[in-house]
Amino acid sequence: MRCTVIGLGEAGRIYARALQGLGHDVLGYDVAPIPTPGLPRAASMAEAVGQADAVIVMTTARASLPVARDAAPHLSPGTLYADFTSAAPGAKLALEDALPAGAVAADVAILGPVISLGASTPLMAAGPGADRTADLLRPIGAPVEVVHGALGDAMAHKLLRSIVMKGLAAVVCEAVEAGRRAGYEDWVRGQIAAELSGDGQSTIDRFITGSAKHASRRAEEMAAVADYCQALGAPSHMSAAARDSLRGLAGSALESA
């Protein structure tokens, strides 16, 4: 199959090499002069996508629609156009208007660190081209979950997941840094590890019910946490956000009482 990878950063190069490894005819395209030894490069968008059976877009999120609009005049009917960017669900849905009627679009969300997991990184695909995307990428070892919905539905799942994954990462970083400055980093790490190793579903339920029930008291505690972090000279963004969130929960509880 003739495949074009647009966006040749680390992730783009990983998928290009994996597709080459299966014998696909792979062409790369990027306006930046990124070295890609062993990967043929197109000199223009027309050359990149004009003869492609599948186009994989791995640019930044803000380039999603501009790239689609640039590619649109050169796409052949039936070409799979898989957008792997982290553009918002609305931008993914807008691909329907940006691409020609004959293109088969897919919204693909990357659900893990490609730099660490390579082509085996879990993916989620939605839109008319979701099944074709799965058929193309599963042979390279990519676990692809197909969501039978509209363009943007895969990205919607990813963004909801990111509330936890990116938020949790930020909380852990803040707690460990404060622990380090206080001289208790090992103890803080142990507390975090113990919490993360428990029963996930029961932990979720405990967080939801406990936060609502004890919002006022916990808000006061998190205010003290934020003040302590500041005294240590450590970041307190997440602690302050938790304080404000709990204050909001406490206010909502009073209104409904």
According to DSSP, the β-strands at 104-110 and 80-83 are parallel
What is the pTM (predicted TM-score) of this model?
Answer: 0.85
What distance in Å separates the CA atoms of residue 81 and residue 105, rounded to the nearest whole number? Answer: 5
Confidence of residue 256 (pLDDT cuts 50, 70, 90): low
The predicted model gives 17-43 an average pLDDT of 94
Residues 191, 141 contacting (CB under 8 angstroms): no
What pLDDT score does 190 carry? 96
Q: Is the pLDDT of residue 200 over 80?
A: yes
- What are φ and ψ of residue 147, in 5° steps? -105, 120
Q: Which of 92, 158, 166, 213 is catalytic?
A: 158
What pLDDT score does 252 carry? 80
**Bridge partners, residue 144, by sequence:** 123
What distance in Å separates the CA atoms of residue 114 and residue 86, rounded to the nearest whole number? Answer: 13
What pLDDT score does 122 carry? 96
Q: What angle do CA 119, 124, 130 make, to 5 degrees?
A: 100
What pLDDT score does 152 carry? 95
- With a pLDDT cut of 70, the percent of the chain lying above it is 98
Q: Is the pLDDT of residue 253 over 80?
A: no
Give the chain's mean pLDDT.
94
What distance in Å separates the CA atoms of residue 236 and residue 26, rounded to the nearest whole number? Answer: 47
The CATH architecture one would assign to domain 2-150 is 3-Layer(aba) Sandwich (3.40)
Q: Is the pLDDT of residue 153 over 70?
A: yes
Return the domain boundaries, the chain: 2-150, 158-256
pLDDT digits (tens, 9 = 90+) for 116-145: 999 999 999 999 999 999 999 999 999 999
What pLDDT score does 33 carry? 87
- Let me know if 92 is a catalytic residue: no
Q: Tell me the torsion sign for CA atoms 152, 157, 160, 161.
A: negative
What pLDDT score does 199 carry? 84
What pLDDT score does 189 carry? 96
